[in-house]
Amino acid sequence: MGLKEKIESAFRDLISALQVARLYPDWHPQFKKSVEKAYSSIREVLEEKKELVIGIVGEELAFEKEIFFDLSRNVRPAILYLKQRGIERIEILREFNQEELSEFISFLVAPKEELKKEAQEELALRGVKNISAGKIRVSSGTAADIQVEKAISHLSIYEESLKTVGESLEAILNEKEIDRLGLQLAVTGVMENLLGRYQELLNFATLKRYDLKTFSHLLNVSILSMYFSSRLGFAKDEMLDVGIAALFHDIGKSYISRKVIRKPGRLTEEEFTVIKSHALLGAEIMLKYTGSLGILPVVVCFEHHIKYDLSGYPKTHFYGRPHIASLVVSTCDYYDALSQRRGYKADYPPEIVYGMMQREKGATFDPVLLDEFFKLIGVWPVGTLVALSDGRIGVVREENDDDPFRPTIEVIAPADKRERIDLKGQKDGLKIEHSLNPLTEGKDYLALI
């Protein structure tokens, strides 16, 4: 069992013990059995970590940078119960014992009126010295608290932005007015807080399994497009315009999905033609919103499938090169579509995505822009788990602009060989062999990042 599974098991068994304690008194065999199981699970984690810090913000359980979405959904009543008790953070030190755990769980289920002191004072009176509970305190400066708070903060911004994006898209699909200011503020918030975190956001979209999968793709494309625009030297207001245009580049496809693709039965030839014309349809839809969103969304809707060499669609006569915003968005759209796990396809490893896009250089993609894109994002984006040629496992920490195949990585396994390495400066041939999918072969290493 990998560390992530051990941590999830410890979370699950601790929550289970809490639930048992709400049903049985502390002398009951069921209570003692549940505490013993939780103690055993937590002890396994603490053989590898000095402390186990459980963060609860919103309705999610987190350990360091890892957010346990599925588990959080399954134990939501217990999470809400802890939040009602003012518990957002539980820290268990390696020195704890089973008696302390039993007392701690008894404290969590004790009637509020019986508790006369603050949580830590109450725990001290019960002889609990190696377990603490309370609010997440970033000001405390502890690395665990800061990591949990940052992870949840970024997720919160992403989810709120996704909600606003969804509302705006729904309004346009229903031919209603949109909250222009609210949309601009949401995109500005994304621009100020989430640029450069594409890999982290891609994991959010994958693990969270949003119902509005298309909306998460559009938000990711918007974030990536603004990040790319910043690399190209766009001013802040220009980056914002590109980000908003990216949000609506596939509005025609969303409209068709609602009207045609979801219909029961076989599609007619006319309906197939409509599907292929989503770029033109999107431009027509966005023409109604030029007063609030400007002309760029219309341009990007129309051009994002034309391709750099004009071999795409819609077919036009006497048409020059697509607008640079369209080329930026189409590059980011293509990259995100290949990188995301969908219901109808697996996600491609980053090195495969790189190869696929290089084959379209000069045809689908502007050669100069494509080179700049991979200087920014790298073959393996920051945060990617990778297997090295010497058998070690690492995580990409920084790109090298002049060599996207040789980023700076941090070795995370084996634990006794942790170090930071700039692969560009290596003379011994050390290189990245391939990436590790965080949902499959890489999941055991996530807790080490």
- CATH number corresponding to 146-375: 1.10.3210.10
pLDDT in the model for residue 301:
94
pLDDT tens sequence across 371-401: 999 998 888 888 888 888 888 888 888 888 8
List the one residue out of 229, 233, 256, 255 whose CA is nearest residue 244.
Answer: 229
Instruction: Using 50 as the pLDDT threshold, list the residues of the chain that sit under it.
Output: 138-140, 205-212, 343-345
Strand-pairing partners, residue 62, are 55, 67
Q: Dihedral sign for Cα 383, 386, 390, 391, please.
A: positive
pLDDT score at 194 = 63
- Cα 387 to the center of its chain, rounded Å: 21
Q: State residue 206's pLDDT score.
A: 45
The pTM (predicted TM-score) of the whole model is 0.67
219 phi/psi in degrees, rounded to 5? -65, -40
pLDDT of residue 65: 65
Provide the β-strand partners of residue 411. Answer: 394, 419
| Pick from 17, 48, 51, 14: nearest CA to 34 | 17
The per-residue pLDDT for 318 is 64
For residue 110, the 8-state DSSP code is S
The reported pLDDT for the residue numbered 211 is 42
Helices (H) and strands (E) counted in the chain, each on its own, are 19, 10
- CA distances, 206 to each of 24, 169, 201, 217, 248 (Å): 39, 21, 9, 10, 21
